[in-house]
Structure 1
Amino acid sequence: SLNLPGLLLSIPCMDAIHGLYSLGQHDLFHKKNSCKLIPENLLLCNDIEYAEMRLPNLLGHETMNEVLQQASSWTPLVQKQCHPDTKKFLCSLFAPVCLDDLDEPIQPCRSLCESVRHGCGPVMLAFGYPWPEMLDCNRFPPDNDLCIPPASIENVVPVTKEVPRVCDACKETEENDNEIVDSLCKNDFALKIKVKELSYINGDTKIVPDTKSKTIYMMNGVTERDLRKTALWLKDGLRCICEEMNNISSPYLVMGQKMDGHLVITSLKRWQKGQREFKRISRSIRKMQC
């Protein structure tokens, strides 16, 4: 799994995905192609319009394990919703459509690549990742060839058929002082942190706090030692959205519970200095008596 000092976007290690061209176009187009059912655990390409993909794919991955491992790192980019065709474009490379009567792979059109790069390139750059060379749009065929075009503007559909749910820990709540104390008392820890790095493991979000920026408000059954060496976990973080984490350079107030040796976040709010709610939270924490 990949740790990014920065985050919501784990983009895979670039060497591993130079496959498209280390294989060489010629080899790729003449390797014996086999059709495979798109597996359910290939989350990046769930609910696309076709059921079978070709292996090797257009990135030179020859086994399904390799595809699954590399594709999982790109799911956060789709969830960023930086362009409605992100999923279509990535899946045309990771899980290209497989047609029995067609030997050559169908590539994404150059215009599909360019429109996704235009929408998502700046988002990736914001997390310190330039648009990778393996996705250089000049490598893809112009639109008058047989290739996968972008959706026309009229046909643009939302990225996902169903709106992804908001993570429980990130739901907005308006609480009075008593309710704040109440929810604090149900938790084992309350911290003000900055995020050092963030990654995804088995669908959960792993947050490593920057120890220098940490303020401890309360710990119940959680020791300093637990906090020093342990990451915080946002359960199911790949399958739900958390608007609060769109700018991870700001500090957060996180509360949570110790479960099976892990520190699991139950509430996460971006800390906004001087905002009434946070003054109230600080006040409530100071005079807290559970």
Structure 2
Amino acid sequence: MMLAVMFAFTLPGYLDSIHGMYSFEQPELYQKKSNCKPIPASLHLCHDIEYTEMRLPNLLGHETMNEVLQQAASWIPLVQKQCNPDTKKFLCSLFAPVCLDELDEPIQPCRSLCENVKIGCAPVMAAFGYPWPEMLECGRFPLDNDLCIPPAGVDNLAPVTKEVPKVCDACKEKIEDDNEIVDSFCKNDFALKIKVKEISYMNGDTKIVPENKSKTIYKLNGVTERDLRKTALWLKDGLQCVCDEMNDIDAAYFVMGQKLDGNLVITSLKRWQKGQREFKRISRSIRKLQC
């Protein structure tokens, strides 16, 4: 996610994004007359691309703009991972296909564009437990021709001065001594060692559902252990920042945070590496601590 993992980047939460997709071989996609619609500023996945109007229904079978906005948000973490320079172009060719009045049929991504993105991004998605979706298998797209969207050529690649994604505050690397660890622990309402069951995105935030069986509670204030089984953890504005610290859904993480407006909001997230000196020190300091 993350991705948030995530895509996190789920990343995914991407299973919802492919729910209801049409096969590109099915005629149903073209039975309804397509309409050109302005790409809204709220479609952050396809913000600031080279064209301003998109076709509805799109190539994923989404018929309303609300459906496009909801499903596209889950893919932002994959773009943030920068696994391929054409990831955004490929996804936007599906979610927000270019709309030209003089063409009756939509312009699809070329197969080579799909293959290039898949080579770079499928391993990133697999690290979070998600295979490349069947509905995006590259064989469904046309071989390169004048009427499909190709990958960027070597001459057209963006310069190296690309924008560096913002790192989520909770995921920034911090070197803390024992006193700082104790101070941070006492300021927060919860401290947990968790494994991640699921990552998804809601209203721009990253929602993290821990596995109950693998959870270790170091501190819990204002919420019972029973409530915790039904409560998710939240990384605020997770769609607007990256959390490379959380890059493996099978790993364990040490998270601390606060209860805000009834939600458990993460303020610090570290990947737990068994045997590492820092985490031995954290465990030792916390177990004998009285705030």
Q: Aligned pair 1:201/2:202, yes or no?
A: yes
The match for 1:12 is 15
Shift of 1:105: 2.1
Shift of 1:31: 4.4
- 1:255–1:125: structure 2 CA closer, same or farther, 3 Å change rule? closer
Query: Whole-Å Cα distance in 2 between the matches of residues 221 and 158 of structure 1?
Result: 50
Report the AA paired with residue 216 of structure 1.
I
Task: Name the SS for the 1:243 alignment partner.
Answer: coil
Are 2:76 and 2:239, in contact at CA under 8 Å, matched by a contact in 1? yes
Task: Name the SS for the 1:102 alignment partner.
Answer: coil
**In the TM superposition, what whole-angstrom CA distance separates every residue of 1:106-137 from its partner, at most 9, and x where no partner exists?**
22122111211222233334444433333232
Query: Whole-Å Cα distance in 1 between the matches of residues 230 and 159 of structure 2?
Result: 40
Report the AA paired with residue 14 of structure 2.
I
The match for 2:98 is 97
Greater than 6 Å deviation, 4+ residue runs: none
Report the AA paired with residue 22 of structure 2.
H
Could you list the runs of 5+ residues in structure 1 that have no partner in the other structure? Answer: none
**In the TM superposition, what whole-angstrom CA distance separates every residue of 1:118-171 from its partner, at most 9, and x where no partner exists?**
222333344444333332323323223322110113432379953221111101
Query: How is 1:47-58 mapped onto 2 (pairs within 5 angstroms)?
Result: 47-58=48-59
Query: Whole-Å Cα distance in 1 between the matches of residues 130 and 191 of structure 2?
Result: 32
Are 2:24 and 2:140, in contact at CA under 8 Å, matched by a contact in 1? no
Are 2:110 and 2:144, in contact at CA under 8 Å, matched by a contact in 1? yes
The range that moved more, 33-42 or 68-77, is 68-77
Calculate the TM-score normalised by the size of structure 1.
Answer: 0.88
Report the AA paired with residue 110 of structure 1.
R
Query: Whole-Å Cα distance in 1 between the matches of residues 102 and 234 of structure 2?
Result: 47
Are 1:12 and 1:74, in contact at CA under 8 Å, matched by a contact in 2? no
- 1:250–1:133: structure 2 CA closer, same or farther, 3 Å change rule? closer
Are 1:81 and 1:159, in contact at CA under 8 Å, matched by a contact in 2? no
Report the AA paired with residue 12 of structure 2.
L
Query: Whole-Å Cα distance in 2 between the matches of residues 265 and 100 of structure 1?
Result: 48
Query: Whole-Å Cα distance in 1 between the matches of residues 61 and 99 of structure 2?
Result: 15
Are 1:111 and 1:143, in contact at CA under 8 Å, matched by a contact in 2? yes
Query: Whole-Å Cα distance in 1 between the matches of residues 111 and 160 of structure 2?
Result: 20
Query: Whole-Å Cα distance in 2 between the matches of residues 158 and 17 of structure 1?
Result: 35
Are 2:128 and 2:250, in contact at CA under 8 Å, matched by a contact in 1? no
Query: How is 1:1-290 mapped onto 2 (pairs within 5 angstroms)?
Result: 7-13=10-16, 14-18=18-22, 20-24=24-28, 28=30, 31-157=32-158, 162-290=163-291
Are 1:12 and 1:70, in contact at CA under 8 Å, matched by a contact in 2? no
Query: Whole-Å Cα distance in 2 between the matches of residues 205 and 245 of structure 1?
Result: 12
- 1:244–1:255: structure 2 CA closer, same or farther, 3 Å change rule? same
Calculate the TM-score normalised by the size of structure 2.
Answer: 0.88
Shift of 1:184: 0.9
Report the AA paired with residue 20 of structure 2.
A
Shift of 1:78: 1.8
Shift of 1:40: 1.6
Aligned residue pairs total 283
Report the AA paired with residue 77 of structure 2.
P
Could you list the runs of 5+ residues in structure 2 that have no partner in the other structure? Answer: 1-5
Shift of 1:198: 1.8
**In the TM superposition, what whole-angstrom CA distance separates every residue of 1:192-244 from its partner, at most 9, and x where no partner exists?**
11112221111211111112212121223332233222111111112110011
Query: Whole-Å Cα distance in 2 between the matches of residues 42 and 98 of structure 1?
Result: 16
RMSD, aligned CA: 2.4
Shift of 1:74: 2.3
Are 1:253 and 1:269, in contact at CA under 8 Å, matched by a contact in 2? yes
Are 2:129 and 2:249, in contact at CA under 8 Å, matched by a contact in 1? no
Query: Whole-Å Cα distance in 1 between the matches of residues 98 and 106 of structure 2?
Result: 8
Are 2:258 and 2:266, in contact at CA under 8 Å, matched by a contact in 1? yes
Task: Name the SS for the 1:123 alignment partner.
Answer: helix
